[in-house]
Amino acid sequence: MPAIVKTKPAYGAELVEVDIPKPGPGEVLIKVLATSICGTDLHIYEWNEWAQSRIKTPQIMGHEVAGEVVEVGPGVDTIQVGDYISAETHIVCGKCYACKHNRYHVCQNTKIFGVDMDGVFAEYAIVPAQNAWKNPKNMPPEYASLQEPLGNAVDTVLAGPIVGRSTFITGAGPLGLLGIAVAKAAGAYPVIVSEPSEFRRKLAKKVGADYVVNPFEEDPVKFVMDITDGAGVEVFLEFSGAPKALEQGLQAVTPGGRVSLLGLFPREVTFDVNNLVIFKALEVHGITGRHLWETWYTVSSLIQSGKLNLDPIITHKYNGFDKFEEAFELMRAGKTGKVVFFPHK
Ligand code: NAD
Ligand code: ZN
């Protein structure tokens, strides 16, 4: 079968023919119906510093997935052939201090498929049964595949009250766009988005942002203050990983407001903690991964409610992997929302 493989420690990847794997104990084999590209896949493709320190080649890339179970390994009793599943990509140990406190999303022994082992950019893929999430049969595969990053967005947006609350979102990359969709579905108003890329500001509007601003041309803090009559927003959600955006968001949030930080910063960040966090009495949440499994229930229900506006976010669909390089380059250039492959053309 064809698979997108990180064949060597250098820029890029290759489409190669590999054997269909056999599920081992506790594993299932799925026919991949849809698989989407995550920013992490792009980092592996680009072979950035993080990828160099973490990834062992050769390895099949990819982790966001929806598929049909075609074979189950020994000892699997929770999943059956024919089940339609997605997958939590964090394989947690269940034994560490965090896991024993039901904080699986911060398991200190987390392994990730497509990062620490073969992934899902292939026609068939192995998923540990403990990570499988059963989907309703009528959920389109491209939505089902997006549930994993949607889980990040849900944990970011719903870390506190949001209905009827003014919300400022920095960064409308794939994750920020999912965040906008969740915030709108949950009843946030107004949703104000800061994003330098014109293409992505337009997408943000299509997904439901009430106001968009280019932070490189206009002061986004003044923009927010004008809309909120000088009060600032109740909720600030950071999805960009840009140090400047973090500072602007902390300035734009009202004293006593709520902050969720998902974006990862390229280096240490310096800002005025006294005046921007402590004296404003902000509630600050660091967001990592997704809560297992509460967040998956929320994501699945939100999709089924029909209230999540996902279609404008899925900007590129590819039948097969033949054009995978084009897909990665478009994503690198910031010219995409989410990119989805359907491996079986
Ligand atoms: P992305 O790089 O595609 O999107 C970031 C967006 O921020 C881009 O559209 C960019 O134009 C915009 N941006 C840049 N500077 C800005 C500024 N000053 N103000 C406002 N916007 C600005 O990334 P993504 O895939 O959407 O992911 C978003 C972030 O979330 C990344 O930093 C990623 O590393 C992080 N992430 C965190 C977790 C977690 O568990 N915490 C999981 C996945 C991704
Ligand atoms: Zn653990």
Beta-carbon contacts of 275 under 8 Å, excluding residues fewer than 6 positions away, are: none
**Cβ(39)–Cβ(175) below 8 Å:** yes
Separation of alpha carbons 81 and 73, rounded Å? 10
**CB-based pocket (< 6 A), ligand 1:** 39, 152, 170-176, 194-197, 200, 215, 239-242, 244-245, 262-264, 287-289, 334
Gyration radius (Cα) of the chain, Å: 20
Separation of alpha carbons 105 and 204, rounded Å? 28
Has the ipTM of the complex gone over 0.85? Answer: yes
Q: What is the DSSP string of 99-160?
A: HHTT-GGG-TT-EEBTTTB--SSBSEEEEEGGGEEEPPTTS-HHHHHTHHHHHHHHHHHTTS
| Per-residue pLDDT at 289 | 94
Smallest CA-to-CA distance from 149 within 117, 175, 126 is with 175
**Cβ(70)–Cβ(29) below 8 Å:** yes
Atom of ligand 1 nearest to the CA of 286: 41
| Per-residue pLDDT at 205 | 98
Q: What is the DSSP string of 33-63?
A: EEEE--HHHHHHHHT-HHHHHH--SSEE---
For residue 70, the CA-to-ligand 2 centroid distance in Å is 29
For residue 269, the CA-to-ligand 2 centroid distance in Å is 29
Known catalytic residue at 40: yes
For residue 171, the CA-to-ligand 1 centroid distance in Å is 6
Domain 2-146+313-342 has CATH 3.30.1320.10: no
For residue 120, the CA-to-ligand 2 centroid distance in Å is 23
**Cβ(7)–Cβ(13) below 8 Å:** yes
Alpha helix locations (H) across the chain? 39-46, 49-54, 97-100, 141-145, 147-157, 174-185, 198-207, 220-227, 243-252, 273, 294-305, 324-332
Residue type (1 letter), 177: L
Smallest CA-to-CA distance from 257 within 282, 277, 279, 237 is with 282
Which of 152, 223, 262, when mutated, tests ligand 1's pocket best, judged by the most ligand atoms within 8 Å of its CB?
Answer: 262
Domain segments of the chain as ranges: 2-146+313-342, 153-286
**Cβ(332)–Cβ(42) below 8 Å:** yes
Point out the catalytic residue in the list 7, 35, 40, 105: 40
Tens of pLDDT along the chain (345 residues) come to 999 999 999 999 999 999 999 999 999 999 999 999 999 999 999 999 999 999 999 999 999 999 999 999 999 999 999 999 999 999 999 999 999 999 999 999 999 999 999 999 999 999 999 999 999 999 999 999 999 999 999 999 999 999 999 999 999 999 999 999 999 999 999 999 999 999 999 999 999 999 999 999 999 999 999 999 999 999 999 999 999 999 999 999 999 999 999 999 989 999 999 999 999 999 999 999 999 999 999 999 999 999 999 999 999 999 999 999 999 999 999 999 999 999 997
> Which amino acid residue places its CA nearest to atom 39 of ligand 1?
288
In this structure, which topology does domain 153-286 adopt according to CATH? Rossmann fold (3.40.50)
